Each structure stands twice: as structure tokens, then as C-alpha cells.
Copies of this chain bind each other. A is one copy, B any other.
Amino acid sequence: MSKVAASSNRPIYEARVAAATGGVACADSDTGSDLEANGHFSHLKDLLALPGLVCLSLETDAVLQHDEHPDALFGIVSDGIVGIQHVLTDGRRSISHLFLPGDIIDFRYFNKVASNAVCLFPCELVLVDADSLSKLGEDEQEVRSMLGHSLMKHWGFATRHCTDLARKSAVEKLASYIFECQNRNPVRLENVNKGSVHLALRRIDISDYLGLRPETLCRAFAKLKQSKLIAFNDIGYVHILNEDVLRNIADGCSVDKHLNEQRAAS
């Protein structure tokens, strides 16, 4: 369980990285509880304390090569963000799925997807193989059950993301994404400034995730800002000013009506 690379230049996950740098086995203080909170699984600490787990450190844009770790059953994202990226022959890119810290990447059918798992930031992954898993004894069954739940949860994310992509306008997609960040991001810092949501990704990645060009995404941000629904405070964070209206927009309540009202009033 050696570390290949360390440190991250992002401020957001600093606390987590610091904890993880001490080694995964003793990451049961702070990181552990975050992971647990996200995974709804009480035995994650035991799982991470297993001997012989491989801990991967990957740089931004690194592709997760499953063939290099054929024994790995699943991987837990302990830091960074992994995206499932698909590139059309054309060159057009899209990100279809996100794995945030605490999320589990199930490798069992991974090879069936013609896309790559790409690190959108420097990432830390803990790989779990069947052998290590069997050392858990009677808890192994519970881990496998957790795997199933994790999978179902991610199927839900993917399904919801499809509804975002299918019929929503750029502004609606963005509003929906902001709430997705609010719900999924396990980072505790957001509790400090109430209503402040970390956007997790760079603009370009958000636009790939939402099926928009960066320019369009930028204009969507501008519209929400002009309409006084959100404000930018720190870099990478947005402050939700009117959660009700923003949620209506995310749910597809004739966006423009709301936006035009707001903009006319200002």
C-alpha cells in the first residue's frame, strides 16, 4: 500500500488529502466518516483497514486501467473525482458519470462500457480484491450487499442524469447540476458557509457532463447570476440565493418565465 504521488493543488479536499496521506489504514478518523456518510455503510473502516489493499494515486487526466489490476473487484474513491468519459470519433467529448469521494467504482462489468474512467483531478483510489475481501470473514456478505446498494444508487444517478440531459435547457441543466453537487458532494466545508455549494468540476468538465459547450454553460451561469438566483463567492463555489425558484427551474417549470420575471424586476 505504497503511495506513488501525493499532494493536490485543490483547496477543497485538503483535509481529506491530509488525512489520507497518513495511510489508508489509519484514515478512520476523518476521511472514514466522510466515506461512510456517502456510502451508507458502517463497516467501511474495517474494509479500509484490510491488509494488502492497493492504493492508487493518479494524476489529472490519468485513465484508470483496469487490466493493470485484474484482481480488483471494486475501487473506492478516497480523493479526487473520477469521470466516465466518452469520446466520439469526431472528437466530441462527454462525461456520462461521476464518482466522487466515497463512491465505489464496480469493476465487474467495467470492461463492457466503451468509455474510459478518467481522473478529473488528482485521485486516490483504494482497490479491493476478492482475496482481501474474504479476510473480512462474516462481514464479507455485508460488503457485497453494500456493493449492490452502491450500484443501485449509481444506476439512480445515471438515470436521473439522463432526464437532465434529455429535455432540459442549458439553464435547467445547470440548476440541476448545482443541486446534484449539493446532494452528492460529501465535503463538510459546505456546512460552514450555509447555502454555499462546491461545483466540484472545472467549467469544461461540467459542460462535458451536461452535454453543453463551455460557452453555453458560461451563459447559463450568467443568466442565473443576473436573475439573482445564485452568486459567486469563492472560486469554485456558488451561493444559492433563492433555492425555491432555482429548484423549480431544475425541475423544469418553464424556465424562462421565472428568469424573465427576475430579470425584469432587477
Residues of chain A having any CB pair with chain B under 8 Å? 84, 86, 88-90, 92-94, 96-97, 106, 108-109, 112-115, 144, 147-149, 151-156, 158-163, 165-168, 208, 210-211, 248, 251-254
> With the chains together, A166 CA to B153 CA distance in Å?
21
Q: In the complex, what's the smallest C-beta–C-beta distance from A248 to chain B, in angstroms?
A: 7
Asked whether, in the complex, the Cβ of B165 is within 8 Å of the Cβ of A162, the reply is yes
Asked whether, in the complex, the Cβ of A151 is within 8 Å of the Cβ of B148, the reply is yes
A113, A114, A152, A154: which has the most chain B beta carbons within 10 Å? A152
A93, A114, A155: which has the most chain B beta carbons within 10 Å? A155
> With the chains together, A165 CA to B151 CA distance in Å?
21
Task: Considering the complex, give the chain B residue whose CB is closest to the CB of A163.
Answer: B86
Residues of the B chain whose Cβ atoms lie less than 8 Å from the Cβ of A208? 166
> With the chains together, A112 CA to B152 CA distance in Å?
9
Task: Considering the complex, give the chain B residue whose CB is closest to the CB of A86.
Answer: B163
Residues of the B chain whose Cβ atoms lie less than 8 Å from the Cβ of A165? 162, 165-166, 211
Asked whether, in the complex, the Cβ of A167 is within 8 Å of the Cβ of B94, the reply is yes
18 additional contacts, CB 8 Å, given A92-B167, A151-B152? A84-B159, A88-B167, A88-B168, A89-B254, A96-B159, A96-B160, A106-B155, A108-B148, A108-B152, A109-B149, A112-B153, A114-B160, A115-B160, A144-B144, A151-B151, A158-B158, A161-B162, A162-B165
* Given contact pairs A159-B97, A159-B115, A153 touches B88 in the complex (Cβ within 8 A): no
Q: What are some 25 contacts across the A-B interface (CB < 8 A)?
A: A88-B167, A88-B251, A88-B252, A89-B248, A89-B251, A89-B252, A90-B252, A93-B167, A94-B163, A96-B160, A97-B159, A108-B149, A109-B156, A112-B153, A113-B156, A114-B160, A115-B163, A144-B148, A154-B155, A158-B159, A158-B161, A161-B162, A165-B165, A165-B166, A166-B211
> With the chains together, A190 CA to B105 CA distance in Å?
35
Task: Considering the complex, give the chain B residue whose CB is closest to the CB of A152.
Answer: B109
Q: In the complex, what's the smallest C-beta–C-beta distance from A170 to chain B, in angstroms?
A: 13
Task: Considering the complex, give the chain B residue whose CB is closest to the CB of A147.
Answer: B148
Q: In the complex, what's the smallest C-beta–C-beta distance from A56 to chain B, in angstroms?
A: 21
